[in-house]
Amino acid sequence: MSSTTSSTNPAVQAIIAGTAPQQARLAAASGLLPLPQSDLLEVLVALRRADDPEIAGAANETLTTQDSQDLLTAAKSTETSIPVLNYLATLSAQTRELHEAVIMNSKTPDEVIAGLASSTSDSSLLDLIATNQQRLVRFPKIIDAILGNSDRSADAERRARETRREFFEKERGAQQIAQELRSRGNSAAAEFFESADFSAGLTVEDAWLIAEHIEVSDAELDNSWLPSERYEDLKLETAEEHAANFKRALEFEQSEKGEVPPERVSLIRRIMFMNVKDRMKLGMKGDREARSILIRDSNRVVATAVIQNPRVTDQEVENIASMRTVADEVLRLIALNRNWARSYPIIHNLVRNPRTPIPTVISTLPRIRTKDLKNLSQNRNVSEAARRQALRLSQVRSGE
């Protein structure tokens, strides 16, 4: 059972993670714990998949007793966890109002909407799904589900076919999406669509997902950091190289954060299977989530593009400076940046990072405090040359 939970209640987190006592989990599954309704639903939905048959049975039974108005409130709330929204979408015995709320909830995953579009026999719900063109373009399987449902209305079919024709069957599909994004003020995402290389395997569906993580426009970029001799690093990659890059990024994420949610895995996969030029552009233009993935890219130009992003924060750079999975070129460039070099936490992380090039460490050590120099001289994770220089500087300052 997944330990992922949106609740901040420690008791709820322990119950879902499976670390709470057996009796507490059984009491929760039976609805006997004094929990807020939102937490109770999250617990029950998680426990109905428990390995223990008694707990799973109790959770399923308790779910059947939930008040319909409470379920409707949960379906409408954007604070409701995704697993609960998934569960509510499967309740075939509930009223149309509940499914309508799930469809209208912006937090409901596109996959769930596609499932509803495929299974519902209510043509009015299909009409409602078909009116959300943004969802249909972002997740084309919803279009397929509507057209594959024999209970669809003529209006739902018309909207689905028009969306497919306008956005996916015409050569100007990407341009159409770009115009749509620009009309809503998302010029940075529109620019990405206009210049994305769809000939290299990037799908419109993937591009739409990635465009949601674009926050920097072309006007904000400075490309002077990329000299012409580095363009050879932007060569085409093989499918094997893409797969290896994805695996590498995912393993680093798992080692640092533990279990990675499926949505995050999907985003990492889609980004890492982009061609190197598009990854570089995303590194320079993407939001914090995209940057946190691309800083681990095996291509140095892509990883370097992340720290050229005008929205990258000092806190991000401080974290990057401590990463042992980042390219040494990135660490060298951080040290050369005047603004970041004035941040003590950043330069302190750099000299302690075994990935930082030795010349960079040696040139940075004079700015390190004496106490930290002494600690560094005993740090076996850094190079011997760095330890010796740190010891020498600390002794000079101490008059030894």
Q: Please list, in sequence order, all residues whose beta carbon lies within 8 angstroms of the beta carbon of residue 369, skipping any fewer than 6 positions away.
A: 344
Q: How confident is the model at residue 183, as a pLDDT?
A: 82
Q: How confident is the model at residue 188, as a pLDDT?
A: 87
Residue 53 lies in a domain: yes
Token digits of residue 330: 């990135």
Residues 200, 85, single domain; the answer is no
Q: How confident is the model at residue 144, as a pLDDT?
A: 94
Tens digit of pLDDT for each residue in 37-81? Answer: 999 999 999 999 999 999 999 999 999 999 999 999 999 999 999
Residues 145, 17, single domain; the answer is yes
Residues 179, 167, single domain; the answer is no
Residues 259, 216, single domain; the answer is yes
Rounded Cα distance between 20 and 156, Å, is 47
Residue 1 lies in a domain: no
| Structural domain boundaries, residue 332 | 313-400
pLDDT class for 376, splitting at 50, 70, 90? very high
What is the arithmetic mean of pLDDT over 243-268?
Answer: 88
Q: How confident is the model at residue 302, as a pLDDT?
A: 93
Q: Which of 173, 188, 222 is the last residue of a domain?
A: 173
pLDDT class for 226, splitting at 50, 70, 90? confident
Residue 200 lies in a domain: yes
Tens digit of pLDDT for each residue in 300-331? Answer: 999 999 999 999 999 999 999 999 989 999 99
Rounded Cα distance between 125 and 104, Å, is 10
3-state helix, strand, coil in the chain (%, to 5): 70, 0, 30
Residues 266, 355, single domain; the answer is no
Residues 16, 70, single domain; the answer is yes
Between the ranges 190-204, 216-230, 268-282, where is the mean pLDDT highest? Answer: 268-282
Residues 277, 335, single domain; the answer is no
Q: Tell me the CA distances in angstroms from 159 to 142, 164, 357, 359, one per residue in order.
A: 12, 9, 57, 62
pLDDT class for 186, splitting at 50, 70, 90? confident
Rounded Cα distance between 342 and 367, Å, is 9
CB-count burial class (<10 Å; 0-12, 13-18, 19+) for 243: middle
Residues 198, 159, single domain; the answer is no
Q: How confident is the model at residue 175, as a pLDDT?
A: 73
For residue 352, is pLDDT > 50? yes
For residue 84, is pLDDT > 70? yes
Q: Which of 116, 144, 173 is the last residue of a domain?
A: 173
Residues 321, 388, single domain; the answer is yes
Residues 269, 317, single domain; the answer is no
Residue 4 lies in a domain: no
Rounded Cα distance between 135 and 399, Å, is 69
Residue 105 lies in a domain: yes
**CA triplet 293, 241, 335: central angle to 5 degrees?**
45
Tell if the pTM clears 0.85, that is, is over it: no
Rounded Cα distance between 210 and 61, Å, is 40
Q: Which of 307, 335, 365 is the last residue of a domain?
A: 307
Residues 19, 101, single domain; the answer is yes
pLDDT class for 1, splitting at 50, 70, 90? very low
Residue 68 lies in a domain: yes
Residues 91, 228, single domain; the answer is no
Q: How confident is the model at residue 218, as a pLDDT?
A: 83
More confident residue, 318 or 196: 318
Q: How many residues would you count in the chain?
A: 400
Q: How confident is the model at residue 12, as a pLDDT?
A: 87
How many structural domains compose the chain?
3
Taking a C-beta distance cutoff of 8 angstroms, is the pair 285, 293 a contact?
A: no
Least confident of 232-236, 306-310, 328-332, 338-342: 232-236
Residue 84 lies in a domain: yes
Q: What is the DSSP letter of 286?
A: B
Residue 80 lies in a domain: yes
